[in-house]
Amino acid sequence: MARRGEIKRIEVTRGAGHVGRIELETSRGVFMISVAAELANMHPQTLRVYEARGLIEPKRSPKGTRLYSQEDVEQLRRIQELTADLGLNLAGVERVLEQEAELERMHARIEELELEALHAQVRLAEELEEVRRSFRAELTVPYRGGTEIVRVADARSPFRSPPSQRRRDVA
């Protein structure tokens, strides 16, 4: 099935002859009811019934003529599949189409959340690297004859007495 607003090539045939090939935006209403009914292998009155039930919403021209898009025709074919092949009534078709639309919204939301999580993961990795760099800058190995790691703040004043001795000197 085409995604909303996608550009799609359509081959138009009439009877036994090939009429032509066109490219159009799949959501754009271009087919009058008779053409849409023929493309979907339905009677035009059936399309009117489906519209009255809210199963399909064709665009309207400025004069009020119904204009069906390629997406509408695909939706009509889907409705026909559900009724003819699976034996659903129109209430069942409504429910299936609602569930499919909900599923599509959920997939879109999952993709959105996965993208947000990926961005958060990248930000977290950048912040983690920044913290690591700050610790590397803060820690140094001064020459004291040993290989112990000493904080920079403690290494800057080697002549200052350790904090435990300072407390004894004050008391």
Kindly give the confidence (pLDDT) of every residue in the chain, 171 residues in length, as a single tens digit, with 9 standing for 90 and above.
Answer: 445 566 666 666 656 666 667 666 788 888 999 999 999 999 999 999 999 999 999 999 999 999 999 999 999 999 999 999 999 999 999 999 999 999 999 999 999 999 999 999 999 999 999 988 887 766 655 555 556 665 665 655 555 565 555 555 555
Residue 115 in domain: no
Say yes or no: 34 and 80 in one domain: yes
Pairing type for strands 66-67 and 59-60 reads: antiparallel
- pLDDT reported for residue 27: 82
pTM for this entry: 0.58
Residue 113 in domain: no
Residue 22 in domain: yes
Question: Could you tell me the residue range of the domain that residue 137 belongs to?
Answer: 124-170
Residue 21 in domain: yes
Say yes or no: 133 and 81 in one domain: no
Residue 112 in domain: no
Residue 119 in domain: no
Which CATH number does the domain housing residue 53 bear?
1.10.1660.10
Say yes or no: 27 and 78 in one domain: yes
Say yes or no: 15 and 63 in one domain: yes
- pLDDT reported for residue 59: 94
- pLDDT reported for residue 133: 85
Burial 80-91 (b: 16+ CB within 10 A, else e): bebeeeeebeee
Domain end position, chosen among 87, 114, 147: 87
Domain count, the chain: 2
* Sequence letter at residue 69: S
Say yes or no: 20 and 71 in one domain: yes
Say yes or no: 76 and 145 in one domain: no
